[in-house]
Amino acid sequence: MTAEVALLNKSAVALAADSAVTIDSPLNSGGTKVFNSANKLFTLSKFHPVGAMVYNTMSLGGVPWEAIIKTYRRTAHRRSFSLLSDYCDDFFSFCSDNLVLFPEKRQHEVVRSICAQFFLEIREGSATNKTIRQSLDQLLEKYSKSEKCDVFDEDSLLRIEKLYRDVIDSAAAQIFTQSQIRNLKQRCRRAASEFLINADLLHGYSGLVFAGFGEDQMFPAIQEYYVDAVVDGKIKRRPGVSSTIEYGSPSAIFPFAQKDMVRTFIEGVNPRYGSQFIQEATKLVANLVVDAINKFPDIDGETKARYLRDIAPSVRESFLAFVRQMDGVRNNEHKRPIETAISVMPLSELANVAEILVGLTQIRQRLSIETETVGGPIDVAVISKGDGFVWIRRKHYFEQNINPLFIEKYFDTTHP
């Protein structure tokens, strides 16, 4: 897993990321291995003030994100854009239909794996031809009403069904017996194709965060994407957090991946505890009303039901007003003072706070008995309009003093 933070004010955006990466055992033993030396924070351009962070799955289609980003950086060279969103579009345009990064054979292999998992989940809940047919029909009805990933057009479904026909048939044959899917092959193809273009994320998605300045942006912006597969040459993705610093919104704090500790520090209460507290308190208040009415033995059932109908909305609204009031206290006492401080911080302090916030998650995991999925050195960078992407803290897998050619090549402005 990962802990990453972005802090934005009018001067800059500070990015910080830990170095832990968790690898599941390839031997299906259920074990995991954690390495504390992964790179998750990158310059998107050597010449312009933009950067990127990656979390969750560290590859796309079997290609490491580090390789993808650095290949794009070399190709983009000095190309610049008006807005940060334009850099994002250019990056995904570079990746789409890129047969060097994602050869067709590899795309087919990945799609086959996705479809096999899709059919496996159907088989776990359906064992006979009849129940599998029912499951497929239910899924087809669900997908016909659900949101499609916006990288696909209205012709994509038929094109993908035709393109991956043999791949889908092979995945279905691997998971089901012939009797289980007798006369259901076409349903399998259509359901799998609908699944491939659906906006829902796969379990192994990647989080990709772009941050920095476009040429026409005086204040920094940030854009998050969830990316999970290459299908028909398209990068299947969904936008996440998106924000631009403005005069009326001079600061922002965004944690990514493992967010609980940062949110606890910023908001003054653990978000899971807060959510559970409200759920349980809501039940308690509702039960108190019922118990109070039931204390009157002389009231018949119909009258009690009427009292409940009359009283319950007022009690619910009063409780919600209380919750809103306490949220206001929390914002005024915890979140707003921190956001105000962030808005006026100089660049060096912004970087220090970003590093500290990631470190909080590291400490919390150190104090648990679970596998430490956040750890290792914390890479920190600050991106400003004038100075561009500046490393504050960065690990290397090599010693710089014995690699002068690398340093010379990296800072050679004539070299991409």
pLDDT tens per residue, range 58-102: 999 999 999 999 999 999 988 999 999 999 999 999 999 899 999
Residue 126 has pLDDT above 80, yes or no: no
Among the residues of 176-248, which ranges form H helices?
185-197
For 145-293, list the strands marked E by DSSP: 206-212, 221-231, 234-244, 251-257
The per-residue pLDDT for range 245-283, each reduced to its tens digit, is 999 999 999 999 999 999 999 998 898 988 898 889 888
Q: Choose between 240 and 306: higher pLDDT.
A: 240
> Does 26 have pLDDT greater than 70?
no
Question: What's the rounded Cα separation, in Å, for the pair 335 and 332?
Answer: 6
- pLDDT at residue 1 tops 90: no
DSSP string spanning 381-398?
Answer: EEEETTTEEEEEE---SS
What are the residue boundaries of the structural domains of the chain, listed by start?
Answer: 3-102+202-259+371-410, 104-140+152-194, 266-340
Burial class (CB in 10 A: 0-12, 13-18, 19+), 140: middle
Beta-strand pair 3-9/251-257: antiparallel
pLDDT at 28: 53
Query: How do 379-384 and 221-231 pair as beta strands?
Result: unpaired
Residue 299, CA atoms < 13 Å, CB-side half-sphere: 14
For residues 245 and 339, is the Cβ–Cβ distance under 8 A? no
Three-state secondary structure call for residue 246: strand
| Segment 127-164, tens digit of pLDDT | 799 999 999 999 999 998 889 999 998 899 999 999 99
Letter string b/e over residues 254-266, b meaning 16 or more CB atoms within 10 A of that residue's CB: bbbbbbbbbbbbb
What's the pLDDT band for 413 if we cut at 50, 70, 90? low
Beta pairing, strands 63-64 & 206-212: unpaired
Q: What DSSP element (H or E) covers 60?
A: strand 59-60
Residue-level pLDDT at 214: 97
Which pLDDT does position 315 carry in this prediction? 81
Buried b (16+ CB within 10 A) or exposed e, 232-252: bebbbbbeeeebbbeeeebbb
What kind of fold does domain 3-102+202-259+371-410 have according to CATH? Glutamine Phosphoribosylpyrophosphate, subunit 1, domain 1 (3.60.20)
Tokens for 299, please give them: 């009231």
- Encode pLDDT of 300-327 as tens digits: 777 777 877 778 788 888 888 988 998 8
Between CA 376 and CA 360 the distance in angstroms is 13
Residue 415 scores a pLDDT above 80: no
Q: What is the token pair recorded at 144?
A: 């016909």
Q: Which of 130-134, 210-214, 345-349, 412-416 has the lowest mean pLDDT?
A: 412-416
DSSP classification of residue 34? E
**Stated pTM of the model:** 0.90
The mean pLDDT of 223-230, rounded to a whole number, is 95
Residue 37 one-letter amino acid: S
CA distance 398 to 50: 25
The SS3 of residue 267 is: helix
Mean per-residue pLDDT over the chain, rounded:
91
Whose tokens are 């047919």? That residue is 133
Task: Name the residue among 364, 382, 385 with its Cα closest to residue 373.
Answer: 364
Do 378 and 19 form a contact (C-beta atoms < 8 A)? yes
Instruction: Check: CB of residue 286 under 8 Å from CB of residue 268.
Output: no
